[in-house]
């Protein structure tokens, strides 16, 4: 089987949620002896030099990348404001990428064209025009739900009005895409249920799997050196909302009960406003090159996400590293962990603070939660069985 994987960002190095999801999918397909071809946008915002990519991965994926600037501009937003086009999607459409994609589609005969996320769906008409491959949308999340939730957290009136207009257009385009493609591969059962309410398109839920053996449990930190950490790309709005909420609603309560605790904000593109906070118990760890360092150094992972959809890849990593995790319900969407056993879920700020404090004070509970998290990952997040089931779905789709 020959598959073309069209991506909205370069998958290697896999250093944020979506690139990890794309990269692990690629590895899963390769493990099933798929003739895989990757054609990806290489965005200015998340630019990845091709010489950083291992030659073995480039060869096994027939890797091709196209440099593009998708950064939002005032003029770009204004151009689509009073049209049916969504600026969120049009930023990822480029006529030169279209030409190169046309050449790829004419040179090779693909069985499946897999689009990594909604932002690549503007190329569907071109794909349908040139080839007869089945088009699959891999839905990393339900995009318009992210923005609808974000609007609820937005204070600015003008920004709220603009986002309402854009999210309405995005929803229309997304629901149309669900019915236009030949199949949908959601990452979570919750997103799958939502999508099935709007279309009859065949679907198969495939979690973002991983190679569990790659996650070393050796800890470089003292188990009793109490620390909390939030890990994620801080240029993603839901992550900023999450950290802001935690700092304003939970952090002071936690420090009052556990004065020697540290809170680490780790990830890429951390805004200066966090670095300027006058709090000696707050640690900024930016531009992390090896995520294992963060998971192994610090104790309790907090995921206070208030908006978003899909699967939090950092939770997947946290489970694989056997971390004690406290999350909001939204933060843990898409992962069928048992609350209270594999992960702690909190409904509000008081509950979130209380659960974190409890784990900080009770090393035995923390250790049990860590063991259960790792066991869950071993039994539910292994990449090869997930990829095997997906390929079986694809074989049935093209038969």
CA 284/CA 234 separation, integer angstroms: 11
CA 136/CA 183 separation, integer angstroms: 5
- The pLDDT value recorded for residue 148 is 80
Provide CB contacts within 8 A for 111, sequence distance 6+: 1, 2, 3, 133, 134, 394, 398
Phi-psi region of 182 (alpha: psi -120 to 50; beta: other; left: phi over 0): alpha
CA distances 386 to 150, 260, 313, 337, Å, are 31, 42, 15, 17
CA 274/CA 153 separation, integer angstroms: 19
H helices of 115-257, where? Answer: 124-130, 143-153, 157-180, 189-196, 237-249, 251-257
SS3 sequence of 302-317:
EECCCCCCCCCHHHHH
Alpha-carbon radius of gyration of the chain = 21
CA distances 107 to 4, 6, 103, 125, 135, Å, are 12, 15, 6, 18, 17
**Stated pTM of the model:** 0.82
CA 60/CA 35 separation, integer angstroms: 8
CA 345/CA 339 separation, integer angstroms: 6
Number of neighbouring beta carbons within 10 Å of residue 4: 24
- Contact (Cβ atoms closer than 8 angstroms) between residue 245 and residue 226: no
DSSP type of residue 203: B
- The pLDDT value recorded for residue 311 is 67
Helix, strand, coil % in the chain, rounded to nearest 5: 50, 15, 35
Provide CB contacts within 8 A for 81, sequence distance 6+: 87, 162, 165
What's the sign of the alpha-carbon dihedral 202, 204, 205, 208?
A: negative
- The pLDDT value recorded for residue 49 is 87
Tell me which residue of 138, 246, 234, 123 sits closest to 192, measured CA to CA: 138
- Domains within the chain, CATH numbers bracketed: 2-211+382-398 (3.40.50.2000), 212-380 (3.40.50.2000)
CA 228/CA 267 separation, integer angstroms: 14
Residue 317, classified by CB atoms within 10 Å of its CB into exposed (0-12), middle (13-18) or buried (19+), is buried
- The pLDDT value recorded for residue 149 is 76
Q: What is the mean pLDDT of each run of 10 residues along the chain (399 residues)?
A: 96 86 95 97 86 93 91 72 79 92 96 97 96 96 81 76 85 95 94 94 93 74 77 88 96 96 94 93 89 90 82 87 94 88 97 98 95 94 94 97
> What distance, in Å, lies between the first and last C-alpha atoms of the chain?
11
Number of neighbouring beta carbons within 10 Å of residue 276: 8
CA 173/CA 245 separation, integer angstroms: 31
């Amino acid at each position: 089987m020959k598959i073309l994987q069209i991506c909205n960002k370069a998958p290697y190095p896999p250093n944020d949620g979506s690139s990890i999801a794309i990269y692990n999918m690629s590895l899963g397909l390769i493990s099933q002896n798929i003739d895989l071809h990757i054609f990806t946008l290489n965005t200015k915002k998340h630019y990845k030099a091709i010489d950083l990519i291992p030659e073995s991965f480039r060869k096994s994926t027939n890797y091709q990348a196209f440099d593009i600037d998708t950064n939002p501009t005032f003029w770009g937003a204004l151009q689509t404001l009073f049209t049916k086009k969504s600026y969120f999607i049009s930023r990822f459409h480029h006529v030169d990428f279209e030409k190169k994609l046309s050449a790829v589609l004419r040179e090779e005969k693909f069985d499946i064209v897999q689009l990594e996320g909604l932002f690549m769906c503007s190329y569907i008409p071109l794909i349908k025009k040139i080839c007869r491959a089945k088009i699959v949308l891999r839905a990393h999340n339900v995009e318009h739900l992210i923005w609808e939730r974000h609007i609820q957290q937005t204070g600015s009136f003008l920004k709220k009005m603009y986002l309402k207009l854009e999210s309405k257009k995005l929803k229309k385009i997304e629901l149309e895409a669900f019915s236009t493609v030949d199949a949908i591969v959601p990452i979570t059962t919750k997103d799958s249920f939502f999508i099935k309410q709007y279309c009859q398109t065949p679907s198969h839920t495939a979690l973002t799997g991983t190679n569990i053996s790659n996650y070393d449990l050796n800890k470089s930190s003292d188990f009793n050196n109490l620390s909390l950490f939030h890990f994620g790309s801080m240029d993603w709005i839901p992550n900023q909302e999450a950290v802001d909420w935690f700092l304003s609603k939970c952090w002071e309560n936690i420090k009052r009960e556990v004065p020697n605790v540290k809170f680490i904000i780790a990830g890429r593109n951390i805004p200066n406003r966090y670095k300027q906070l006058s709090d000696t118990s707050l640690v900024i760890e930016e531009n992390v090159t090896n995520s294992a360092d963060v998971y192994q150094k610090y104790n309790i992972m907090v995921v206070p996400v208030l908006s978003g959809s899909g699967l939090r890849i950092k939770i997947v990593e946290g489970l694989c590293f056997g971390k004690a995790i406290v999350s909001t319900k939204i933060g843990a969407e898409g992962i069928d962990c048992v609350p209270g056993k594999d992960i702690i879920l909190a409904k509000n700020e008081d509950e979130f603070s209380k659960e974190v404090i409890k784990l900080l004070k009770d090393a035995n509970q923390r250790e049990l939660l860590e063991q259960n998290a790792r066991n869950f990952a071993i039994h539910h997040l292994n990449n090869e069985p997930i990829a095997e089931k997906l390929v079986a779905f694809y074989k049935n789709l093209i038969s």
